[in-house]
Structure 1
Amino acid sequence: MEPQPSLKKKTIGGLVWSFGDLIGNQGIQFVIQIVLARMLLPEHFGLIGMILVFIALSNSIVDSGFTQALIREKNASQTDYSTVFYFNFFISVLIYISLFFAAPAISRFFDEPQLVSIVRVLTIGIIINSFAIIPKAMFAKEVNFKAQAKINLSSSLLSGGFAIGLALTGFGVWSLVFRQLSMNAIQSLLFTLSKKWMPSLEFSFSSFGRLFGFGWKLLVSGLIDTFYTNVYFLIIGKQYSTKQLGFYTNASRFSEIVSQNLAATILRVTYPVLSSIQDEHERLAQSYKSITKLAAFLIFPVMVGMAAVGEPLVLLVFGDKWANMILYFQLLSIAGMMYPILALDLSIFQVKGRSDLYLKLEIINKVSLTILLVLAIVFDLGVIGLIGAAILNTYIEFFVNSHFSKQVIPYPAREKLNDLLPVYVLSFLMGGVVWTFGSLLDTNLLIQLLLQVTVGSVFYVVTCRLANIKELKTVYGLIKPLLKKIN
C-alpha cells in the first residue's frame, strides 16, 4: 500500500504538470483559434461543426472504454495492451470505411456539398488517433503528465503554424481540416516514440473479455454523453444557418477551454490516483470530497467571470464580425461551470468499478436533457433556448448523480450542496459586481477587460477570506513555493 505522503506528492505533481499542459497547450490552441477566426469566416467553422458529432462518436467507439479499464487495472500486462491496441486499430479502420461511404448522405442531410470531401479527409484522423491510445493510457496510469504536456505543446505549435500558413494562402475551411489532421499525426507519432512501446503479435480473448466486461458500460455511457455533448452542432446545423453554427461552434470551444479542459486536467490526474486507493473506503471518500470542493473553488468563479466579461472579451479577441457569439458564449460559460463537478461524480463510479451505475446515470440524465431539448425545439426558442435547456439540465444532473453516488461513497446531496453553496454564491456575487463595474466604464476594450478581471479577482479572494473558505488556504499552500522561487 502506498503511504499517504507519497500519494499526495504524486497527485500534486500530476496536477502541476497537467495544469501546465492545460495552460501551455490550450493557451497555444486558443491563440491559434483566434488567428484563424480573424482570417476565416464563421461559415468555415460551421462546416467543421456539422461533422464534429460523427468524429466524437467514432473516437468513443474506437476507445470502447478500454483506456479507463487499463488505467484501473492494477497489473495490466503486455498481452492486455496488445489486445486493446489491435482492437482499437481494427475498429478505427472499420469506422473510417463506413464514414467514407456515408459522406454523401451526411452532405445531403445538411445540404452542404462541400461536406463529402471534408468528411472523407478529416475522418482519417480516427485511424491516426488509434495509435496513441495505449501510450496515453500508460502515461496516465503512471501519473506522468510531464511527457504528455511536452507532446501536446509540440503538436499544437506545429499543427497551428501549418494551419495559419494554409489560411494565409487561401485554403479556407481546409486550413481547419489539415490543422486537426496534422495534430493527430504529430501527437500519435510523439506518443509512440516517447513511450517506446510496440504491440506483441498476440490477441487474448481472455484479456479482451475481462477488460471489455468493465469497459462496455463506459463505452455505452461515453457514446450517450458524446452524442448529447455534440447534438447541438447537429440540431443547429440542420435547423439554422451555417453562419449561426459557426458562431455557436466558436462560442462553445471558447467556453470549453476552461470548463472541460480544467475538468479533464483534474480527472486524468485524480482517476488513476483514486483508483490506487479504491479499496480504502474512508481515505477515498475524504480525497473525493476535497477534490470536489477544490474544483468548485477554482472553476465556479472563472466560468461566472468569463460570462461577466463576455462582451469585451469576445470583441477584443475575435473582432466585430463575431459579435453575434457573445450571448452564446456567456450562456455556455454558465452551463459549463457545473461540468467538472458532474464529471467528478461520474468518475467515482468508475473508480469503484460500478460501470453499471455509471451507465444508468447517463441514461437518466440524457432522458431529461432530451425532454428539455424537444420542448425548446417545439416552442421554437432558438439557439438560446437550446443552451438554456443545457443549463437547466446540469442542475438536474447534479441532484441525480448525488442521489446515486451515496451507494458507493458517503457524500449525500445535502452535504455536497452545503460544501459547494458558499463558493457558488460568492462566484455569482463576484460576477454581478464585475458586470456592473464594466457597464459603468467608458474606455477601450483592453483596459475595460483588465480592470474587470482585476476587480473580480480581488473581490473573490477577499470575500473567500472573509467567509473562511478553506480551499483558499489550500491553493495558497500550493503556489507559495513558486512565489518563493520567483522572489
Structure 2
Amino acid sequence: MTDSLRSKVLSGLVWSILQSWGVKLATLLLFMVLARVLDPHQLGVFAAAMVVLSFVGIFIDQGLSQAIVQRAQITVQQLNTVFLINLGLAVLIFVILWFASPLIAEYLKIIELTDVLRVASLVIIISATCFSQQAMLHRNFRYRWLAISALVATLISGITGIVCALHGLGTWSLVIQMLTGSVIGAAMMWTQPQWRFSFDLDFSGVRELLSYGMNRLGTSLLDFINTRYVEIFVAATLGPVALGIYSVGVRIYQALMQALSAAILDVALNGFSRLAHDPVALREAYYKAVTLTAAVAIPVFCLLAAIAPEVTVVFFGNKWAGSAEVLRPMALLGALHVVEYYNGTLFNAIGKPSIGLKFVVFKTVTTFVSLWLMREPDLLSIVYVYVASQLVAMPLSFYLVQRIVGVSLWTMFLRIWRFLAACILGMVLITLGRHVGMIADLNLFSRFVVLGVLGSLGYVGFLALTARAQLRELYVLLRVRRQPG
C-alpha cells in the first residue's frame, strides 16, 4: 500500500467513523426522546414500514453503489446511465408500493400501515436522486462531507420528529422525520457534486457494472432476508406491539453495528479493493482491521450485553424494560458479527462476490428453516432461535476466508485473544457486581454508571497488564496524517 493510499484510507476511516458515531449517537438520543413519547404500537407500525422500504431499496441499488467503488475506472457516461436507471426504478417501485400497500398491511395485520407506507415510500425517489453522487463521494474518499451532510440531516430531521411527536402525530412524526432527513441529505450531496449529469449515456458500460452488481444484489437481498425477515415474522405472528418491543430492543444493537462496523467496512472495501492484486498486503490489512475491531467494537457489544437491563430502562424508560431480553442476545451476536462481516468485504474486494452470495444463501436457509420449525412462538424464543441460526453458519464464513484468501485463523486468534479475554473479564465483573449489596441498593441510573465503569475498568486493566505491545501497535495504526476531506 502506497503512502498516499494509506493516508487516504486512514483519513477516510477516521471521518467514516466520525460520521457513523455522530449520526448514530444523535439518532439514538433523538430516538430515546421519541420512545418516551410514543407507545409500542406506534413504533411497531413505523418499524413494519421501514422493513418494507429497506427491502425494496435493495432492488434500486442493485449492488451498483459498491460496483462504482470497486471498479478501477469509472466514466461519466456510466454514472449518467446509473443515475437514470436508479431514478427510473425508484419511480416504478414507488408506484408498485402505492397499489401494494393494502395487501402488505393485510398480510401483517396492521390496517394503518397502508397510508404510512404510501407516504413513507417517497423516500425511495428522494434517495435515488443522490445515488451516484453518494457513491462517488465514497469512491473519492470524501468522507468528511459525507459525515457533515449526515449529521446536519440527522439533527434537523430529528428535532422535527420530536416536535411532531409532542404535538400528538404519533407514527406520522417518524415518517416526517425520515422524509425531512432524506430531503436535506440529498440536497447536501448535490452541493458538492462529484460529477455533472448529462444525457451522454453508456448502457454497455453499465452492463459491466451490473455483472458485478448482480452478485452483490443477490448477496444483499439474501442478507436482508437473513437479518430482517425476523421483524416481518414478529409482526405477522405477534403483531405491532411485539414488533415495537423488538425494535427498541435491537435499536442500540443496530446503531452500534452501523457505527462500529459499517463505518470501518465502508472504508475497508475501498482499501481492500486497492490491495486485491497483492495477497500478502491484503491479508495483513485484514489482520489489522480485525485487531482494531476486536479492540474497539467487540468490548462495546459484550459490555452492552452484560448491562442490558439497566441500559434499556435508562435510555428508553420503564415501559420498555422487556426489550432488555431482546438486547442481550443480540448484542452478543453483534460482538461476533463485527468481525465476521470483514469476510464478505474481502470477497467483494477481490472481485468474487459470488462467494459471499453462496454463504448468505446458507445463512438465509438456516434462518428460514429455524423460524419455520417453531411452534407457538413468543418474542424471546424467536430472538434466541434467530441468534442460534446465525451462530451455526459463522464457522463456514471463516473457513472460506482461510481457504480462498489464505488468512490464517491461528494468526488472527493470536492477535485478538487478549481483547476477547478482557471482554469476558469485564462481563463477569458486571454480573457479579450487580449482586453486591452496595451496588444493588443504588438507584437505576447510579447502578448503570457503576456497573459500566466496573466492566470498563476490568477490560482496560486486563489489557494494560497483558497487551501493551498490541495497544502500541493499534496506536501506530490509528495515527493519521491530516488529509483534506
TM-score, normalised with respect to structure 1: 0.94
Judging changes above 3 Å, is the alpha-carbon distance between structure 1 residues 480 and 197 closer, same or farther for their aligned structure 2 residues?
Answer: closer
Amino acid in structure 2 at the alignment position of 1:367: V
Judging changes above 3 Å, is the alpha-carbon distance between structure 1 residues 271 and 480 closer, same or farther for their aligned structure 2 residues?
Answer: closer
CA separation in 2, counterparts of 1:8 and 1:449? 40
Q: What is the correspondence of 1:366-445 to structure 2 with a 5 Å cutoff?
A: 366-375=364-373, 377-378=374-375, 380-440=376-436, 441=439, 442-445=441-444
How big is the shift at 1:457?
1.6
Deviations 1:172-214 (A, max 9, x none): 1100111111111111111122226332203322112100011
How big is the shift at 1:448?
1.6
Runs of 4+ residues deviating >6 angstroms: 478-482
User: Secondary structure, in 3 states, of the residue corresponding to 2:351?
Assistant: coil
How big is the shift at 1:142?
1.6
Structure 1 window deviating more from structure 2 (358-367 vs 403-412): it is 403-412
- Structure 2 residue aligned with 1:155, among 143, 153, 156? 153
Contact 1:53 1:226 in 2 (8 A): no
Amino acid in structure 2 at the alignment position of 1:108: E
Residue aligning to 2:199: 201
Q: What is the correspondence of 1:42-121 to structure 2 with a 5 Å cutoff?
A: 42-121=40-119
Amino acid in structure 1 at the alignment position of 2:236: K
User: Secondary structure, in 3 states, of the residue corresponding to 1:138?
Assistant: helix
The answer to whether residue 473 in structure 2 is matched with residue 474 in structure 1 is yes
Structure 1 window deviating more from structure 2 (200-209 vs 463-472): it is 463-472
Residue aligning to 1:306: 304
Structure 1 window deviating more from structure 2 (211-220 vs 234-243): it is 234-243
Contact 2:164 2:173 in 1 (8 A): yes
CA separation in 2, counterparts of 1:296 and 1:248? 27
Q: What is the correspondence of 1:234-313 to structure 2 with a 5 Å cutoff?
A: 234-313=232-311
Judging changes above 3 Å, is the alpha-carbon distance between structure 1 residues 283 and 436 closer, same or farther for their aligned structure 2 residues?
Answer: same
Residue aligning to 1:458: 457
Amino acid in structure 1 at the alignment position of 2:103: A
The answer to whether residue 221 in structure 2 is matched with residue 223 in structure 1 is yes
User: Secondary structure, in 3 states, of the residue corresponding to 1:439?
Assistant: coil
CA separation in 2, counterparts of 1:461 and 1:479? 18
How big is the shift at 1:412?
4.2
Across the two proteins, how many residue pairs are aligned to each other? 478
CA separation in 2, counterparts of 1:479 and 1:443? 38
Amino acid in structure 1 at the alignment position of 2:282: L
Judging changes above 3 Å, is the alpha-carbon distance between structure 1 residues 317 and 302 closer, same or farther for their aligned structure 2 residues?
Answer: same
Contact 1:294 1:471 in 2 (8 A): no
Contact 2:418 2:467 in 1 (8 A): no
CA separation in 1, counterparts of 2:332 and 2:468? 22
Judging changes above 3 Å, is the alpha-carbon distance between structure 1 residues 85 and 407 closer, same or farther for their aligned structure 2 residues?
Answer: farther
Judging changes above 3 Å, is the alpha-carbon distance between structure 1 residues 53 and 357 closer, same or farther for their aligned structure 2 residues?
Answer: same
- Structure 1 residue aligned with 2:187, among 183, 186, 189? 189
What CA RMSD, in Å, does the superposition of the two structures yield over aligned residues?
1.9
Deviations 1:398-433 (A, max 9, x none): 311112123431114454455444433331231121
Deviations 1:276-310 (A, max 9, x none): 12111111111111111221221111101011111
Which consecutive residues of structure 1, in runs of 5 or more, have no partner in the other structure?
483-487
Judging changes above 3 Å, is the alpha-carbon distance between structure 1 residues 477 and 277 closer, same or farther for their aligned structure 2 residues?
Answer: closer
CA separation in 2, counterparts of 1:369 and 1:250? 22
CA separation in 2, counterparts of 1:251 and 1:132? 32
Contact 1:260 1:339 in 2 (8 A): no
Judging changes above 3 Å, is the alpha-carbon distance between structure 1 residues 424 and 373 closer, same or farther for their aligned structure 2 residues?
Answer: farther
User: Secondary structure, in 3 states, of the residue corresponding to 2:277?
Assistant: coil
TM-score, normalised with respect to structure 2: 0.94
CA separation in 2, counterparts of 1:139 and 1:382? 44
Contact 1:141 1:272 in 2 (8 A): yes
CA separation in 2, counterparts of 1:471 and 1:235? 43
Contact 2:426 2:457 in 1 (8 A): no
- Structure 2 residue aligned with 1:331, among 329, 332, 337? 329
CA separation in 2, counterparts of 1:470 and 1:60? 43
Q: What is the correspondence of 1:165-176 to structure 2 with a 5 Å cutoff?
A: 165-176=163-174
How big is the shift at 1:217?
0.7
User: Secondary structure, in 3 states, of the residue corresponding to 2:232?
Assistant: helix
Contact 1:89 1:130 in 2 (8 A): yes
Amino acid in structure 2 at the alignment position of 1:467: T
How big is the shift at 1:479?
7.1
Deviations 1:315-354 (A, max 9, x none): 1121111111111111211121122212110010000000
Residue aligning to 1:9: 7
Contact 2:58 2:217 in 1 (8 A): yes
CA separation in 1, counterparts of 2:144 and 2:480? 19
CA separation in 1, counterparts of 2:366 and 2:225? 14
Which consecutive residues of structure 2, in runs of 5 or more, have no partner in the other structure?
none
Judging changes above 3 Å, is the alpha-carbon distance between structure 1 residues 395 and 296 closer, same or farther for their aligned structure 2 residues?
Answer: farther
Judging changes above 3 Å, is the alpha-carbon distance between structure 1 residues 183 and 114 closer, same or farther for their aligned structure 2 residues?
Answer: same
User: Secondary structure, in 3 states, of the residue corresponding to 1:74?
Assistant: coil
Residue aligning to 1:447: 446
Residue aligning to 1:485: none
User: Secondary structure, in 3 states, of the residue corresponding to 2:192?
Assistant: helix
CA separation in 2, counterparts of 1:158 and 1:16? 24
Contact 2:425 2:458 in 1 (8 A): no
Residue aligning to 1:26: 24
CA separation in 2, counterparts of 1:421 and 1:339? 16
